A and B are shown apart, each in its own frame.
Chain A
């Protein structure tokens, strides 16, 4: 079985982002970038399925500028066999990403597409579901467990009240939640080997997808600041403040 894993390069999860003074966006120049944490989990799951003998080939795909190559090399070092970079300098919206991925899926013909449940920059949580709908496939979102059977898969999903298990016909789209696995680190020999693995580049324009933005970001602002708090010395003082000052208990 062939698995396609979609990965995104984002501002590192540990960076405290700064809003640009002109409110046009957040500062991305000279900021550490990394693979989106949920995408790491997706890559790890694909590699584990290959180690179990379920997957035969893993193709990592990313859409973005030339620097996304680095993110794809990371995926190759973690165990992906081949990478595809769909090159564009535009910042695509999830719908455009899903349409682009649909084209890549049509070319590569995987039995499963793995994505993270959301990227930590846009926090949209849309791409996997949109891709599934465009392909007319079933979806297993927020997956915390994936079991493979002949021609189908059982996915345990994290839902608001607990866990839900569903069965999906293959091919299917699965999006990963935090609890699915603990991603491995790339070893130095594997990082070296990854440099020789194939990385194809496709110009976004060659795919013939309409990726025009449907939304306009009018402004990006800092969230309202909380007024400064105080430190209390004792539990008695805390209870007194909550009762008489904040009046919340």
Chain B
């Protein structure tokens, strides 16, 4: 049994989600091989080779792989000659975009967003916005899987000494071409991996009021998130969204401010260790999952909280 992990990276750094995926791979018996496909990304391969639990690194470089477009990554993965029993990638937008293509070409039913490895062919995954947990057994000869990063603790990023082998990068399909990117710049920790997350909802009223949450986040070393209502109202960019269709987070502390707690939002945060809710409506569903609830106007409570920290 050999597992191939498809690395997520930005051509200079291995993303944290890849380390979580390697951790999931190491729960399967056999070797773990990491494929780094990209452009000018030797440093990423070096990082992968040092990671605990990695037995071998494959490096596939080509200019057309720079932006990791699904059609091209698919070709790079399919060009690998090894016989892999499992192919894993993080359930990030990168993994979700590319992996089902590979599954379809291998004629395999992918298992999405696993939260545990029960055995080499049986996995748990949430369905219905996390309101049910399904235990699924795959009868395919190869298992194609995406991994929920927050469900697997990363192993050490140091100590490994895997060999790096240069492999074929496949060929450019020209079905799609990269045009541009608009990335949200932030000095704060990444929402997906932060230990503390402060999120705002419709109750924030407008985008300027989010500055208050940013001040609170800075005091706590936290990332800032949002509910769909706050994103749709234009208070913050889309990639702040926590929920079934946004990011799934599971920090030590999640502070929900002015968020009612719709099913779709809870799906993205209810595995947080400690949940705090600040809402003036004491009937808000968020209080049903909150460890500590404060019924108070957020415009009074948040400044007080900033003051108290």
Contact = CB atoms under 8 A, between A and B. Distances in A.
Contact of B263 (A16, A96, A117, A249): A16
Contact of A238 (B111, B112, B231, B292): B292
A30 B135 CA distance: 25
B291 interface: yes
Interface string B128-149: 1111111111111000000000
A94 interface: yes
Judged by DSSP, the binding face of B is mixed
Contacts of B38: none
B1 to A, nearest CB: 19
Interface in B263-298: 263-264, 270, 273-276, 282, 287, 289-296
A177 B133 contact: no
B171 interface: no
A29 B138 CA distance: 27
A106 to B, nearest CB: 16
Contact of B96 (A131, A141, A215): A141
B309 A239 contact: yes
Contact of A138 (B71, B263, B289): B71
Interface size of B as a range: 35 or more
Interface stretch (B25-33, B58-66, B206-214, B236-244): B236-244
Nearest to B110: A126
A218 interface: yes
Contact of A26 (B132, B296, B301): B132
B228 A178 contact: yes
B183 A161 contact: yes
A19 B133 CA distance: 9
Contact of A220 (B133, B291, B304, B305): B133
**Interface hub of B135, B275, B301 (most chain A Cβ within 10 A):** B135
16 contacts: A26-B131, A125-B96, A129-B96, A129-B97, A130-B110, A138-B173, A140-B176, A164-B178, A169-B175, A172-B176, A213-B109, A217-B135, A226-B275, A229-B292, A229-B293, A239-B305
Interface string B103-120: 111011111110000000
A248 B196 contact: yes
Report the 8 A-B pairs with minimum CB-CB distance, sorted nearest first.
A138-B175, A129-B100, A214-B109, A130-B104, A133-B101, A126-B100, A162-B183, A133-B104
A249 B127 contact: no
Contacts of A89: none
B274 A242 contact: yes
Nearest to A223: B133
Contact of B176 (A14, A16, A167, A214): A167
B126 interface: yes
Judged by DSSP, the binding face of A is mixed
B177 interface: yes
B215 to A, nearest CB: 15
Given A126-B110, A164-B181, A238-B276, A230 B253 contact: no
B109 to A, nearest CB: 4
B7 interface: no
Nearest to A96: B109
Contacts, number: 256
B69 interface: yes
Contacts of B274: 242, 246, 248
Given A13-B264, A118-B245, A126 B181 contact: no
A216 interface: yes
A242 B247 contact: no
A169 to B, nearest CB: 6
Contacts of B180: 164-165
A169 B122 CA distance: 38
Contacts of A26: 127-128, 131-132
B294 A129 contact: no
Contact of A230 (B96, B98, B231, B292): B292
B94 interface: yes
Contact of B112 (A124, A144, A159): A124
Interface residues of A, number: 83
Contacts of A169: 174-176
B309 A123 contact: no
B226 to A, nearest CB: 13
B238 to A, nearest CB: 5
B50 to A, nearest CB: 24
A83 interface: no
A215 B111 contact: yes
B220 interface: yes
A55 interface: no
Given A120-B129, A130-B103, A222-B133, A242 B140 contact: no
B110 A94 contact: yes
Nearest to B301: A235
Given A95-B104, A159-B181, A220-B127, 19 more contacts: A19-B132, A94-B109, A120-B244, A125-B96, A129-B97, A129-B104, A130-B101, A133-B102, A133-B104, A141-B70, A160-B94, A164-B181, A165-B181, A177-B245, A216-B136, A221-B135, A229-B275, A238-B292, A241-B292
